[in-house]
Amino acid sequence: MSIRLSVLSLFLRLVEKPRLARLKDPLEARAMFEATAARFFRTPEDANRIETRIAGPAGPIPCDWMSRGRPDRRAVILYLHGGAYVMGSRATHRHVAAVLAGHARARVLLPEYRLAPETRWPGAVEDALACYRDLLETGYEPGRIALAGDSAGGGLAFATLIAAREAGLPDPACIAAFSPWLDLTLSQRSLRRNARSDPMLPASRIEETRDFYVSAAEAGAPTASPLFAEIPSPPPALIQASRIELLEDEAGAMAEKLRAAGGDVRLDWFARAPHAWHIFCGFAPEADGALARAGTFIGERIVRD
């Protein structure tokens, strides 16, 4: 564990985790995340960004196209940001998208899907599916599209796959999910086992946060909790997670499920990283290394010279 990640984890444990535990207003949490991102997260200077809008079920979906260097313009990653479905945006995740784009030699489409509590499940799924459908209709081959995301966005990547199949759309080339939130029924043991070890997420608030997005009665639906969906012959998947985070068991259970269904799955465990540590790329070497591995995984599956 690097010194930088050790210092970061201590800061999260002593400052951010208690602050998240005190926050009760999701809009306040959203504003705090945006302010933190503006202050600390830096998009690489050589990154390229183009704003666009995609037609969605409730109106235009604001999106960023992110890239670095000379990407294969036929290859694209649909990246779905994290934030527990109540926060996060293009601004909080542009740096992650740009770094991943560079490693994969692809362009990244980063949409700003609708958030709870203003829009509850399945609004986020509908927006992500609209973006995936738009890529296909624009002319991208499904074998050159990857789905990726962190935390809630990682779960949303799998939910998008499920929704796409339900809509009769072809599978993407692969999925990369970082600390994915896959079980909104909150039935995994690591939610309790890792309540103290997780340096960032307060276990005491996870049920309340879930309820902003989806009710307990609906939480077991396939596009709310992809862990319980039937996904036969899944596309190749990379799942990266930490051994000390609340969502540890969800990552392991999804990897087992996909393998049992015939999938090619790579499960990368990181010993003591905080939840969704990828957002600290440019500061923590563990974040840079994880995104480099993910970019290589994606690039090998969607970029063909």
HSE of 110 in the Cβ direction (CA atoms, 13 Å)?
Answer: 28
CA dihedral sign, ordered 121, 126, 127, 132: positive
Which residues form the catalytic set? 151, 245, 275
d(CA 171, CA 157): 12
Beta bridge partners of 239: 177, 267
Give CB contacts under 8 A, 24+ apart, made by 39-42: 40/283, 41/92, 41/94, 41/95, 41/279, 41/282, 42/95, 42/282
Strands in the chain per DSSP E: 47-56, 59-68, 76-80, 107-111, 145-150, 174-178, 237-242, 265-270
d(CA 138, CA 123): 22
CA dihedral sign, ordered 302, 93, 98, 252: negative
